[in-house]
Chain A
């Protein structure tokens, strides 16, 4: 209420009229006028979501220019040793993700490395020291393979339907010595109802099989052969025969062994894989394994430790050897190797740690061509002081995916902008002529554009591939053939809209030529709509380019092209995705990161284009 009361005693001196004496005929505005573009800019700024999208878009574009220029990582050479490294990102690696490790499951165990105390064996083909501590586990998996590593289980003899019998014969000869009272032990896990398992012995040089036992039930059987067949068989094979009245019966054998009184251990003991090696010698049936156990390992390995470990080079060319010695002259000081008289050692910091021997070569024109057998320190050899971070991992050729993505994005953007520029140029000119002159010209040009626009991309693709083969030229042609038609249509509509306006008529009456009417009066008025239509063609072009490159008809590895002195790689995002396609299971990072980048690029580009359209043309907001 106090404030209100103050109004009652206002000081009249505080107030004075703006214009008391001077008359205003023509005076400049004190504030700046807001033009068409400025108005659009204000509207554009108001939309916060789109501002964020636009910032991300420009950040991506900036990255694609800066990162390839400053990155020291390899994106062109093939580094076999570094292929398929998983992503490793500083800071985040402490959380346990993207720390350069990869989990392997189901790797075959190296039977020689099984520790007698813990019983844990190391996998075959992986350096034991790179395995992350505490992650190594052994486990077994059911198997039915006839393989040495598949242990235990039973072997099943199955009689075919319609067959009368099936026989398998042992591989080894059982040696019976009558004095030691030999006993043949057969462990039968199961016998089907109605099936009969006959066991025969056969003299090696004999002809007739001699039946020693008939088994109809599961159990462990001990057969004293001399009790059954008094005639002595010194050296025989054992034959198992499965017979049944009703068809398709099985019998499962666990083990066969022979023991005698001469020693406690059995003389012959056959089970698991060995037992499954017996071959069918007669009749018809199958002889397969069941319930075997395959010993496998599961572990997490530090791929970076593997890649940058000391590496044995069996045939290292002397030219490269000399080059390294020259490059690292200050640290590569040769020392004798106390353990190896043929070789020598190098000190700390030298890419070559140890030379085992020099392999004699040949001398051509006074130059010695020889080879060395040596060990390389791979990190130093590749020019890294310490183990590097490959943020997004490496590709099959050992290239850094992080840098590669930006290199590829740069190419994609370049193609996008170039093609969009060409399309806009053609479209604006075509649309202007068609829209300005109208009539028969318009009709014919529209019909031409319609025919061209109706050509499916499959047709253009096949035509250009057949004529020119894949490559950057083909790609640009395919994108141009009917890419300009949309812009031409927009331009034509704009011309129809403005060409009948009074100011155009006035200018024409004053004698303005067609070119002046087009470029001074009509085009500038319609430019906002044309710009927005054009901006939206850029993401469309990138989209199509990546699709064509993905199919393998665009650009690819090994191609380069120069624009204004800057060399661009032939790798685009589509190419990267195509590369990763075969590695979805083992190396998902090859697909994941390019997919994220292209998705973000497309989304932000479309949002930017839409925001621009809304800003220039508020009436269209929300549609399309």
Chain B
């Protein structure tokens, strides 16, 4: 078991590092979008030098200066020159990509420095921006989790216990609708009807400094939009699991020994069918989290997803922000995978992961 845990943990870290490195390398190959104002750009390039992504070269010889000013000498690719007149030109040159990569790793590992934002909020450390948004996203997702688990369980249990009745058919139809309709369509329709048409819920996220009696209303639409798909998945899974357990021999034995149906279902069937559901729920949380990007965008929720979309504005990309926010999502996703792998052994002792025969 210990060996299994170690192997899985190492493997998850390998995947994480691979994805982040790949992301960094490819984004560095794309055209850069430094800050727009000159002042911010100076700070940005100074930081690039101190972070080890660029070197600065002072061009002082008058011959070289006049060459550059007249445009005879091409400025190298990715270089940036600061020419404020006078007899000096400051030339920023990027270092090779491999060196940049090692500087990037060093900055993160030693100083937890993810760089400065270039476009979203110029020259603010991206991790600070992200940190401020994480609570909003997590709160929303946790509320959705708390909402959808009982709903999914309930529907699944009802469908399994009354299998093949009209109730079961109705639930399977609802599940089909929930799974099929994209969350942004659900969100848009909810905003349109509940928000604009009937005016019972706000059409946009409410700032959290308002009274709680108002703020909780702002949660309803995004939570519904997020959890429809998850409810459907959980319902399906619960139904399948419970149906299987209900037809198993040990339940028949329990009934033969004189337990009432309710006793057999609650004490034996439910408990056993819950086991495989734990990993499903952990996975669905990851699903919720990445699904919340679009929900945040539609409902104007100031969370990490919105930050990601802002950083991904066409023609004004903020690479540091993109790297940090994707790292956030990737890390959570991979650790959920790890948790699932490990939880198999913990919630169900019958499963001995990685054990030899």
Contacts and interface: CB of A to CB of B under 8 A. Distances in A.
B133 to A, nearest CB: 14
Contacts of A543: 182
B314 A454 contact: no
B260 to A, nearest CB: 26
Contacts of B308: 458, 462
A553 B23 CA distance: 18
A588 B26 CA distance: 41
Given A450-B15, A584-B191, A466 B26 contact: yes
A465 B312 contact: yes
A595 interface: yes
Given A456-B326, A462-B23, A463-B27, A603 B314 contact: no
A72 interface: no
Interface in B190-238: 191-192, 195-197, 203, 236
Contact of B319 (A466, A584, A595): A466
A602 B181 contact: yes
A56 interface: no
A326 interface: no
Q: Is the interface of B mostly helix, strand, loop or mixed?
A: helix
A456 B333 contact: yes
Contact of B185 (A457, A467, A588, A599): A599
Contact of A455 (B19, B30, B177, B312): B19
A456 B298 CA distance: 20
Nearest to A552: B314
B180 A602 contact: yes
Nearest to B243: A622
Interface in B160-184: 176-177, 179-184
Contacts of B203: 584
Contacts of A622: 239-240, 243
B125 to A, nearest CB: 19
Given A454-B337, A577-B188, A585-B196, A546 B329 contact: no
Interface stretch (B76-84, B86-94, B289-297): B289-297
A603 B19 contact: no
B189 A547 contact: no
A454 B185 contact: no
A455 B294 CA distance: 18
A282 to B, nearest CB: 37
Nearest to B181: A599
Contacts of A467: 26, 29-30
B145 interface: no
Interface string A563-605: 0000000000000010011001100100110010011001101
Given A466-B30, A599-B181, A603-B176, 13 more contacts: A450-B15, A454-B19, A458-B325, A461-B312, A462-B322, A467-B30, A470-B314, A539-B180, A547-B294, A584-B191, A584-B196, A584-B203, A595-B189
Interface of B: 15, 18-19, 22-23, 26-27, 29-30, 176-177, 179-185, 188-189, 191-192, 195-197, 203, 236, 239-240, 243, 290, 293-294, 297-298, 308-309, 312, 314, 317, 319, 322, 325-326, 329-330, 333-334, 337
